[in-house]
């Protein structure tokens, strides 16, 4: 029964990507109609259940994500686990206060670097952290969030992302380090000319 529901959620996600997603030149998959500008919250609540199923035996007691597009997904995952959500803030100005964990993140898409930060009050020893985000490509945002977890002395339970661009290998590189990374849909290739999207089996 549970496996059946999981299959339905993942199949629905793939269907939504194929039906509503748009592929553009420059390796861009636009899913802002249901995932990161307009948000299908009934669907995301189901996605939250699936992440809960995937990580329910990992002792998770905190969800960590990054503003802005990770927040809604993270919120539904946190609701399932019955634990708090913390979102890392992006900033372009160096924060010199000693009350935050911070690390630079390089944006592969935009060719810029920004700092992310989390207040020391909300991450630390005793936390078993599940990192949640909408996209995983080269993995720079996830690596930044993992670095914040390390700085805080918390433990990393794993990473869950909705859509992984498998051909950019950020997910595989994290998995090779022994980190549990679960992506609900892994894209193997995209073609901006035809709009075709192929998933990893």
Candidates 33-41, 137-145, 165-173, 192-200 — which segment interacts with a second copy by CB under 8 A?
A: 33-41
Distance of alpha carbon 61 from alpha carbon 38, whole angstroms: 28
Q: How far apart are the first and last CA of the chain?
A: 22
Q: Does 110 bind a second copy (CB under 8 A)?
A: no
Site for a second copy in 41-60 (CB under 8 A): 41-42, 44-45
Which one among 47, 86, 105, 142 touches a second copy, defined by CB under 8 A?
A: 86
State the minimum distance, in angstroms, from the CB of residue 174 to a second copy: 25
Which one among 79, 103, 151, 168 touches a second copy, defined by CB under 8 A?
A: 79
Q: Does 72 bind a second copy (CB under 8 A)?
A: yes
Total of residues contacting a second copy (CB under 8 A): 31
Distance of alpha carbon 123 from alpha carbon 126, whole angstroms: 9
Strand bridging mode 22-24 / 85-91: unpaired
State the minimum distance, in angstroms, from the CB of residue 76 to a second copy: 7
- Give just the sign of the alpha carbon dihedral 196, 197, 200, 201: negative
- Crossing angle, helix 71-81 and helix 41-55, to 10 degrees? 50
- Crossing angle, helix 2-20 and helix 41-55, to 10 degrees? 130
Question: Under the rule (CB under 8 A), what is the footprint of a second copy?
Answer: 32-34, 37-42, 44-45, 67-68, 71-72, 74-76, 78-79, 82-87, 89, 118-119, 121-122
């Amino acid at each position: 029964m549970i496996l059946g529901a999981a299959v339905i959620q993942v199949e629905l996600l793939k269907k939504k990507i194929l039906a509503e997603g748009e592929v553009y030149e420059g390796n861009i998959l636009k899913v802002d109609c249901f995932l990161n500008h307009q948000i299908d919250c009934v669907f995301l609540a189901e996605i939250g259940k699936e992440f809960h199923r995937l990580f329910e035996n990992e002792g998770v007691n905190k969800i960590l994500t990054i503003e802005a597009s990770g927040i809604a997904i993270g919120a539904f995952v946190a609701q399932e686990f019955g634990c708090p959500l913390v979102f890392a803030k992006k900033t372009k100005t160096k924060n010199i206060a000693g009350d935050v964990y911070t690390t630079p993140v390089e944006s592969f898409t935009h060719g810029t670097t920004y700092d992310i930060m989390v207040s020391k009050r909300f991450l630390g020893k005793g936390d078993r952290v599940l990192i949640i985000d909408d996209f995983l490509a080269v993995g720079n945002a996830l690596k930044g969030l993992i670095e914040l977890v390390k700085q805080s002395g918390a433990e990393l339970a794993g990473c869950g992302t909705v859509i992984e661009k498998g051909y950019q290998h950020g997910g595989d590189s994290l998995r090779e380090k022994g980190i549990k990374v679960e992506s609900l849909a892994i894209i193997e290739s995209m073609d901006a000319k035809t709009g075709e999207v192929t998933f990893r089996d």
